Amino acid sequence: MPKMNVPGDESVGIDDLSVYVPGLFLPLAGEFSTNRGIDPGKLVKGIGIERMAVPDAHEDAASMAAMSLLDLMRRTNLHPQDIGKIYVGTESAPDEAKALGTYVIGMLEQIYGKGSFQECSTVEFKAACIGTTFALESLSYWVAAEEEGKVGIVIASDVAKYPLASAGEYTQGAGSIALLVKKNPRLLALEQIYGSFTRDENDFFRPMGCTTAIVNGKHSNQCYLDAMRGAFDSYAAKSRRLEVITPEKGECVTDFVDHLLFHIPYPRMVEYASAAILRHDWKESRRSGEIERELGREPAAQDYDDIEKYRAAEADYARRFAKSEQFLQAYRAKVKDTATLSRQIGNIYTGSIYLGLASLLELQKIHAKERVCFGAYGSGCSALFFSAIAQPQAESVPLRGLLQRLEERKQISLQDYELLHEGKKKESVLPPKGEFALMGIDHQGYRHYEYVE
Ligand code: HMG
């Protein structure tokens, strides 16, 4: 079987990215944890989030998307006529029919001139948190076939929202990420090997008319892990078949991976995901013997007459695996840093996995020729596992100063957070300045945005 699309002269991938995060945040330890009666240690360590980004009264998924794209265009000196398509991944769109990207184009034309984007098409991808990744996959094939030198943009934009005082509340967040997808990218060339997994599930969904998600929390964690294992197996089989990753006896697929980026609903989930995938992948490798010496034999279902006893033994083994030196070493080397920004922002749904990429870039952890694997997840549920190779110019792409920008945000009170959450705060906490703002919604429901100098 021939190798497929291994990055060469005409590789396609991510050239640059921009991140937009609202200027407001709520710390989880303090007023919030006291009011909700939750031990702050659970939020900061058990969940892994220190601060949640909170959108101000003038912000929504469309205004945040316009902000991340404007920043990307300015960073890369991109003009509207250079852009062929804008694909938007979102599950917080303000309209059931009109594409969010058309609002974004309307906003950007206030800067670049009316009609400047009229030859650019835009479509929305909805698949919970995996929407942006499906957008990236599709757009990469369009970019590969494009012959006029145009580039594509993928935008993730979401407000992650659960009911007040629910178990989902402390995993909220908000933000947008814009990715520049082009031929011969400076950052990451996609290997175009996608392993997928899909199953009908009720782990997390938002029926028409609901403003917050309905979530079966523990079940959602399990669905995420099952789907990720399925997508990983599919990726591993394809990459072997295509001879892109060719482990020898005793080796395994993740031995050929330098960074493992997972969808980050909250940082601890990345720990659970990496433990599940590495344990699974190591089973056939020389590491399995080393792990067995450290932890003893894995529980096997046939050794138990009671399924509950087997489940308890399995949960105990998984906990011990996640504390094993073997796992912790791999976790620190390949995974831990990906959650740096998420700890300060929370879940931004479909952009969360790319927030992981932004973390690695800001920490200057990605080096030329390294393989970066992505494990995307979207409730409902789907997972996609795919890979990219860091390009020689990856380290020379200017940083975005994200960690500093996060320090400059304004802390808000629990009362302001609750009013914003319930849509009862009409005045912005921070009046808009140098940004797109939602100015009003007219009697038909059409939204009016303006760039406020
Ligand atoms: P919960 O009941 O609040 O948390 O639910 P918990 O009781 O399971 O505790 C979490 C961890 O904190 C545990 O760690 C506790 O021990 C620890 P573990 O035992 O697993 O190692 N803990 C403490 N640690 C330190 N000090 C303490 C302490 N107390 C306890 N004092 C849950 C957590 C995430 C389920 C909930 O917040 C939730 O429902 N969130 C929303 C759903 C979600 O994020 N699911 C994730 C998977 S689904 C997904 O990723 C898709 C999604 O992004 C949406 C989409 O696709 O669009 C959500």
For residue 7, being part of any structural domain is answered with no
Is 45's C-beta closer than 6 angstroms to any atom of ligand 1?
Answer: yes
Q: Say whether pLDDT at 344 is over 70.
A: yes
Q: For residue 322, which atom of ligand 1 is closest to its CA?
A: 21
9 confidence band (pLDDT: 50, 70, 90):
low
Q: Is 46 in the pocket of ligand 1 (CB under 6 A)?
A: yes
pLDDT grade for 1, boundaries at 50, 70 and 90 = very low
d(CA 417, CA 391): 42
Measured from the CB, is residue 217 less than 6 Å from ligand 1? yes
Residue 4 in any domain: the answer is no
pLDDT tens for residues 127-151? 999 999 999 999 999 999 999 999 9
- Which of 215, 222, 261, 377 for a ligand 1 pocket mutation test, highest count of atoms within 8 Å of Cβ? 215
Question: Rounded mean pLDDT of 370-384?
Answer: 98
DSSP character for 299? P
Q: What percent of the chain has pLDDT over 70?
A: 98
Evaluate whether 234 touches 196 at the Cβ level (below 8 Å): yes
The answer, as to whether pTM is greater than 0.85, is yes
| Span from the CA of 46 to the centroid of ligand 1 (angstroms) | 7
Pocket flag, ligand 1, residue 91 (CB < 6 Å): yes
Provide the domain limits for residue 29: 12-452
- Identify whether 5 is part of a domain: no
Q: Is residue 6 part of a domain?
A: no
Q: Is the peptide bond before 129 cis (omega within 30 degrees of 0)?
A: no
Kindly state whether residue 403 falls inside one of the protein's structural domains: yes
Output the pLDDT for position 33: 98
C-alpha distances in Å from residue 109, one per residue of 56, 66, 71, 165 = 23, 10, 14, 40
Distance 317 CA to ligand 1 centre (A): 19
Structural domains in the chain (count) = 1
**Residue 3 scores a pLDDT above 80:** no
Each residue of 381-412: pLDDT tens digit? 999 999 999 999 999 999 999 999 999 999 99
Structure tokens at 319: 């906990």
Q: Is 396 exposed, middle or buried (0-12, 13-18, 19+ CB in 10 A)?
A: exposed
Contact 269 CB / ligand 1 (< 6 Å): yes
Report the CATH number at residue 176. 3.40.47.10
**CA 194 → CA 4, 427, 436, distances in Å?**
12, 45, 36
Query: Residue 6: is its pLDDT beyond 70?
Result: no
How far, in Å, CA of 394 to CA of 188, rounded? 7
In a domain, 2, yes or no: no
Res. 233: pLDDT tops 50: yes
d(CA 61, CA 98): 13
| 247 touches 255 (CB < 8 A) | yes
Q: How far is the CA of 47 from the centre of ligand 1 (A)?
A: 6
Residue 3 included in any domain: no
Helices 307-323 + 325-334 axis angle, to 10: 60
- How high is the pLDDT of residue 10? 85
Query: 273: CA distance to ligand 1 center in Å?
Result: 13
**With a 6 A CB cut-off, is 40 part of the ligand 1 pocket?**
no
Whether 265 maps to a domain, the answer reads: yes
